[in-house]
Amino acid sequence: MKIDPRRGRLVGAAYRPSPHCDARPVGMPISLLVIHGISLPAGEFGGPWIERLFLGRLEAGAHPALAGLAGVRVSAHLFIRRDGKIIQFVPFKRRAWHAGVSVFQDRPRCNDYSIGIELEGTDAAPYADIQYARLIVVTRALMRAYPAITLDRVVGHCDIAPERKTDPGPAFDWNRLRYGLAM
């Protein structure tokens, strides 16, 4: 896979533009990759709810577990489903609203300088082999396109917002990702 730098898009990924993004600060280099885990409703996979959430089309009344998400405005640059399908919601050159209140190495506002990748999963369930394979290929492409993203700047949501977030969770195999990136 490769990145189209002009469009800020991952070549080959499905594209569904999210309204939940804005311009990055002028001159702000992309220097951090944040890995997330998400399922909607919690622990359920394969439904339409995550895409609808990122597109601002979630009908909170459609399922009792979604009621608390009414009006929430979030997105990610990429979403990797359990079957390996990759969907891009925000061009990399724009700021996706994925990290919330966050700090990396004493630097706040991680959304300003990061790319967010959501994996369909939970803190407790192992992620799928195909998700790791896709994540490794995508991360390599991002590291080539944005050289300030180095191995030590690939982190979990739990690392930049430890008081609020636990994802991608204990079920995520960081060693597997790092080994795959080192090869």
Residue with tokens 């998700």: 131
| 170 vs 46: CA distance, rounded Å | 21
Q: What is the DSSP letter of 77?
A: S
User: Which one is catalytic: 44, 51, 118, 163?
Assistant: 118
What is the pLDDT at residue 39? 97
**DSSP notation for 3-67:** EETTTTEETTSEE---SSEEEPPTT----EEEEEEE-SSTT--SSSHHHHHHHT---GGGSGGGG
Find the radius of gyration of the CA atoms of the chain: 15
Backbone angles phi, psi at 174, to 5 degrees: -60, -35
Give the tens place of pLDDT for each residue, 64-78: 889 888 889 999 999
pLDDT tens readout for residues 23-48: 999 999 999 999 999 999 999 999 99
- Asked if 97 and 20 touch (Cβ cutoff 8 Å), the reply is yes
Is position 118 annotated as part of the catalytic site? yes
Which domains occur in the chain, in start order?
A: 3-38+75-182 (3.40.80.10)
pLDDT in tens, 159-175: 999 999 999 999 999 99
21: confidence class by pLDDT, cuts 50, 70, 90: very high
Residue 62 pLDDT level (bands cut at 50, 70, 90): confident
* Structure confidence at residue 63 (pLDDT): 85
What's the whole-model pTM score?
0.97
Q: What share of the chain in percent tops pLDDT 90?
A: 91
- Measured at the CA of 152, the angle between CA 179 and CA 138, to 5 degrees, comes to 60
